[in-house]
Amino acid sequence: MCGIIGLHLRDPELYPRLGPLMVQMLQGIVVRGPDSAGVAIYGDRSRCPEGQAAVSLLNAPEDLAVAVASELPGVEKVRVELVGETTVLTAETSPEMLASAVITVAPESRVVGIGEDMVVYKGIGNPNDLAGTYRLQDAQGWQGIAHTRMATESAINAEGCHPFSVGVGVSLVHNGSFSNYATIRRELQRGGISFDSLNDTEVGARFVASRLAEGDDLATALTALGDKFDGFYTLLVTTEHGFAVVRDEFACKPAIIAEHPRWVAMASEFQALAMLPGIDEAHVFEPLPGRVYAWKR
């Protein structure tokens, strides 16, 4: 069992309230995954300033800023923020360049999120405590997702924590388990894709990222995932353009979507949605088995 929440704000007047709304939503899924939690926040310019790139890392060494800056000609300053087990670097460059510089100077660290608009945090512990560590209450922006984990198939550590973010601005959270992921991982590895963990969800994330890189839109990539992967899953995938939800054909893993003129929200359980502004007027429904639901900005 795991818990998922996602909030996509349509009304810019709500952007300053993204964090408080996400904290309330997160409280509704803590019981589903008390061992660890991760979040991805989109559009918080205090965390990833306009025109800059953000890279989230695990196992980052100290004093990274100067060494990374020296790898980036023309970049004067690399800002480093320690957020629990996650280290976030921001600099006036592209996400790929920043990630590449980090890997060069600190190959032992793991890149767990790169974006121009998105920042990812991961860690183990009670999700309510982690919300404090991530300063979730202070978050602003247009979109956010979070995951609370109850590990079933790989270790409880920050690497196994969701979201899995393997392309620029792409994050994926999963409730369920894939069964044929080792086979698909080998296929992707033969295609030159490398993996950071033994986690099944990472295989789903890398599959989706590879399809997006080949030119698929998000809905098409998730339809392809449905054809390829066996197992039980409810997936929420976010990009710097929007978000999408898909469940397997048996739809055992819960999912509820609420659509309102001011926002679209998805959660594992209704109690995570109950406090959203205007929930009584929202269109609340369960996504049908095997169907992809997608929203764009």
Partner 1 sequence: METLKQGTAEIDLAVQSVRELNAELHAPNAQRYVVRHPRGAHAVAAGVNAPLEVQIDGDVGYYCAGMNQEGLITVEGSAGPGVAENMMSGVVRIRGNASQSAGASSHGGLLIIEGNVSTRCGISLKGGDIVVGGNMGAMGAFMAQAGRIVVCGDAGDGLGDSIYEADIYVRGTVGTLGADCIKKDMGPAHRKALRDLLAQADMAPQAEKQDYLDGFSRYGSARKLYHFTHEHARSY
Active site residues per annotation: 2
When binding is defined by CB under 8 A, the residue of 96, 214, 286, 296 that contacts partner 1 is: 286
The kind and range of the H/E element at 246 are strand 242-247
Task: List the beta bridge partners of residue 58.
Answer: 86, 110
Contact pattern from residue 20 through residue 59 relative to partner 1, giving x for each residue in contact according to CB under 8 A and a dash for the rest? --------x-------------------------------
The stretch among 13-21, 141-149, 198-206, 278-286 that binds partner 1 (CB under 8 A) is 278-286
Q: Does 272 bind partner 1 (CB under 8 A)?
A: yes
- The distance of closest approach from Cβ of residue 251 to partner 1 in the complex, given in angstroms and rounded to an integer, is 5
* Cβ neighbours, 10 Å, residue 176: 23
Q: Which residue, 66 or 252, has its beta carbon nearer to partner 1?
A: 252
* Cβ neighbours, 10 Å, residue 258: 22
Q: Which residue, 132 or 278, has its beta carbon nearer to partner 1?
A: 278
The stretch among 69-77, 87-95, 188-196, 244-252 that binds partner 1 (CB under 8 A) is 244-252
Q: Does 270 bind partner 1 (CB under 8 A)?
A: yes
What contacts 97, CB < 8 A, 6 or more positions away?
53, 72
Q: Which residue, 104 or 285, has its beta carbon nearer to partner 1?
A: 285
CA 195 to CA 208: how far, in whole Å? 14
CA 33 to CA 292: how far, in whole Å? 25
Nearest to 172 by CA among 266, 288, 75: 266
Q: Does 6 bind partner 1 (CB under 8 A)?
A: no
What contacts 62, CB < 8 A, 6 or more positions away?
none
The alpha carbon of residue 136 and the mean position of all alpha carbons in its chain are separated, in whole angstroms, by: 14
Burial class of residue 214, CB neighbours in 10 A (0-12, 13-18, 19+): exposed
Count of positions (residues) in the chain: 297
Q: Does 65 bind partner 1 (CB under 8 A)?
A: no
CA 26 to CA 146: how far, in whole Å? 7
Q: Does 271 bind partner 1 (CB under 8 A)?
A: yes
The stretch among 1-9, 85-93, 135-143, 283-291 that binds partner 1 (CB under 8 A) is 283-291
What residues between 137 and 156 interact with partner 1 by CB under 8 A?
none
Q: Does 275 bind partner 1 (CB under 8 A)?
A: yes
The residue ranges that bind partner 1 (CB under 8 A) are: 28, 250-252, 254, 256, 269-275, 284-286, 288-289
